[in-house]
């Protein structure tokens, strides 16, 4: 195809451009498409969490949690996988716990090997414990494996035995609570304690080894109701962040 151009100037330039474009079309060539400009996107990391300020229990990610207090200001934020953060002030007694509640049909011997692998940032001001905690029924017993504490090492009694478990040394105690709150209302019940010689906020605890040590010391446990990584405060204040809390039960 031929274009006859009678005028010079801008019209000549225009027809020259058209000739070039037609030549490209005839040879099967087309201009390369330009990529579309994509709108900028902002990624926001979100985390679903539940904040509890009053007495409550429930289950998240297969872990049973509970906040219990008798008075004062408390806050527990569930962060999944057995972990949580907590804070307390102006309390008499408060417990923040996450683990497993059982149906009280089996003893610890029938349960198998129970371990808790944990890590925590723990900042108590006053009397507080970071521990593995729970209850049994028949008999009704409240138990503690205390790994760290505030300004007072519990329980303020005379040890009945000292044992080496894993790479740690623990004092074993037995105390009694008379007409005090329990999982079965106001009761009189025994407390069993393993208290580590030094504080530790990261560890793997074989709870079964402690049960065996208590049994050898003449301390009888009943059917297992609860195993929980717990932060307890007594007439104190503080904050804690549970970074890892892995509970395993192996038959």
Q: How far is 226 from 246, CA to CA, in rounded Å?
A: 15
To the query of whether residue 202 is one of the catalytic residues in this protein, the response is no
Peptide bond before residue 155 is cis, with ω within 30 degrees of 0? yes
CA–CA dist 172, 226 (Å, integer) = 20
Active site residue 142: yes
Answer for the pair 141, 173: CB distance below 8 angstroms, yes or no: no
Q: What are the φ and ψ backbone dihedral angles of 231, each rounded to 5 degrees?
A: -115, 125
Bridging pattern class, strands 187-196 and 141-149: parallel
Q: Which of these is catalytic: 47, 75, 216, 232?
A: 232
Measured in degrees and rounded to the nearest 5, phi and psi for residue 13 equal: -60, -40
Contacts of 214 (CB under 8 A, 6+ apart): 143, 172, 192, 194, 221
The alpha carbon torsion through 128, 198, 153, 226 (nearest 10 deg) reads 60
Question: Is residue 239 classed as helix, strand or coil in its secondary structure?
Answer: strand
Q: Distance (Å, rounded) from C-alpha 165 to C-alpha 132?
A: 14
- Structure tokens that stand for 39 in this block: 């709108």
Closest CA to 244 of 96, 118, 125: 118
Look up residue 9 and give its two tokens.
């100037």
Q: Which of 40, 138, 142, 202 is catalytic?
A: 142
- Residues taking part in catalysis: 142, 232
């Amino acid at each position: 195809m031929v274009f006859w151009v009678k005028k010079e100037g801008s019209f000549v330039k225009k027809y020259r451009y058209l000739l070039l474009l037609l030549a490209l079309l005839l040879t099967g060539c087309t201009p390369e498409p330009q990529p579309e400009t994509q709108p900028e996107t902002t990624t926001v990391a979100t985390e679903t969490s539940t904040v509890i300020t009053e007495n409550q229990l429930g289950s998240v990610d297969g872990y049973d949690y509970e906040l219990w207090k008798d008075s004062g200001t408390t806050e527990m934020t569930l962060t999944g996988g057995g972990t949580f953060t907590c804070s307390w002030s102006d309390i008499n007694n408060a417990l923040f716990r996450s683990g497993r509640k059982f149906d009280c049909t089996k003893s610890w011997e029938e349960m198998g090997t129970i371990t808790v692998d944990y890590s925590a940032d723990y900042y108590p001001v006053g009397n507080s414990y970071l521990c593995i905690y729970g209850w049994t029924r028949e008999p009704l017993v409240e138990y503690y494996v205390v790994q760290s504490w505030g300004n007072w090492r519990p329980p303020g009694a005379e040890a009945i035995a000292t044992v080496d478990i894993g790479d740690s040394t623990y004092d074993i105690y037995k105390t009694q609570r008379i007409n005090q709150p329990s999982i079965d209302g106001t009761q009189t019940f025994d407390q069993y304690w393993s208290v580590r010689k030094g504080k530790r906020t990261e560890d793997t605890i074989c709870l079964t080894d402690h049960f065996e040590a208590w049994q050898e010391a003449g301390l009888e446990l009943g059917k297992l109701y609860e195993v929980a990584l717990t932060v307890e405060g007594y007439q104190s204040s503080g904050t804690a962040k549970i970074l890892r809390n892995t509970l395993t039960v192996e038959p």
